[in-house]
């Protein structure tokens, strides 16, 4: 890792940008949490996006990666900047009728070495869906990279790297202590979900 940018300094960038939110949040996974990372508030600054993603890309240099893929929306800027640093293409997947898919003419060549990039990994569900799309297209997923890993170790069968790892508790809606306290739940992310709890 860049000696000029420690995990503590990376977290400070998030805090300084107002990206580490406190409250009662419904995550895109459907889980609830008392903290939320709104990476868009960091990535709106091109200098931060370039520096953080270049740092993430270093973990995958020299692996012959031809394309960096991400789920829309949160991972798009990350994939683009990581791809720039690796000299690769960047593309993104989208949900169509509830299923993750490639659209807009994006294609993966058979055997193309692909890195899956994310802003934040919570459960790893979206990441696994992107990996499945790449494999269905005949691509080879060689790694997973993210700015923030709050999954507690979501299982992937490929190399993975995160700039920072955070331990933030997540709760199913049925057992969420914040819901039991009667605190209103907010859905701050990019994907719409039901607001139970």
Distance CA 65, CA 159 (A): 13
- What's the average pLDDT block by block, 10 residues per block, for the chain (197 residues)? 75 92 86 90 96 96 96 93 97 90 91 96 90 95 94 86 90 93 83 38
Is residue 154 situated within a structural domain?
yes
Which residues are within 8 A (CB) of 103 and not within 5 positions of it... i.e. 6 or more apart?
Answer: 93, 94, 96
What is the CATH classification number for the domain harbouring 136?
3.40.50.2020
Is residue 50 situated within a structural domain?
yes
Q: How far is CA 49 from the centre of its chain?
A: 13
What is residue 3's predicted lDDT score, i.e. its pLDDT? 52
Distance CA 42, CA 48 (A): 7
Instruction: Give 124-158 pLDDT, tens digit per residue.
Output: 889 999 999 999 999 999 999 999 998 887 788 89
Distance CA 22, CA 17 (A): 14
Is residue 195 situated within a structural domain?
no
How many distinct structural domains can be found in the chain?
1
- Note down the domain range covering 105: 7-180
Instruction: Give 103-112 pLDDT, tens digit per residue.
Output: 998 999 999 9
Q: Check if the beta carbon of residue 117 is closer than 8 Å to that of residue 72.
A: no
Is residue 148 situated within a structural domain?
yes
Is residue 193 situated within a structural domain?
no
Which residues are within 8 A (CB) of 121 and not within 5 positions of it... i.e. 6 or more apart?
Answer: 127, 144, 146, 148, 149, 150, 151, 154, 162
């Amino acid at each position: 890792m860049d000696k000029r940018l420690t995990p503590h300094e990376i977290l400070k960038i998030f805090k300084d940008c107002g990206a580490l939110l406190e409250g009662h949040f419904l995550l895109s996974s459907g889980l609830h949490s008392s903290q939320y990372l709104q990476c868009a508030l960091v990535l709106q600054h091109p200098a931060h996006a370039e520096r953080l993603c270049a740092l993430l890309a270093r973990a995958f240099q020299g692996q012959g990666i031809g394309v960096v893929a991400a789920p829309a929306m949160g991972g798009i800027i990350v994939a683009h900047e990581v791809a720039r640093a690796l000299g690769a293409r960047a593309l993104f997947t989208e949900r169509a009728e509830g299923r993750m898919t490639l659209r807009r003419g994006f294609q993966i060549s058979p055997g193309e070495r692909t890195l899956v990039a994310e802003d934040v990994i919570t459960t790893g569900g979206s990441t696994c869906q992107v990996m499945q799309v790449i494999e269905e297209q005949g691509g080879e997923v060689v790694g997973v990279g993210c700015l923030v890993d709050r999954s507690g170790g979501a299982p992937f069968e490929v190399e993975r790297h995160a700039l920072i790892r955070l331990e933030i508790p997540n709760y199913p809606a049925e057992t969420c202590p914040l819901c039991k306290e009667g605190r209103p739940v907010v859905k701050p992310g990019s994907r719409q979900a039901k607001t139970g709890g």
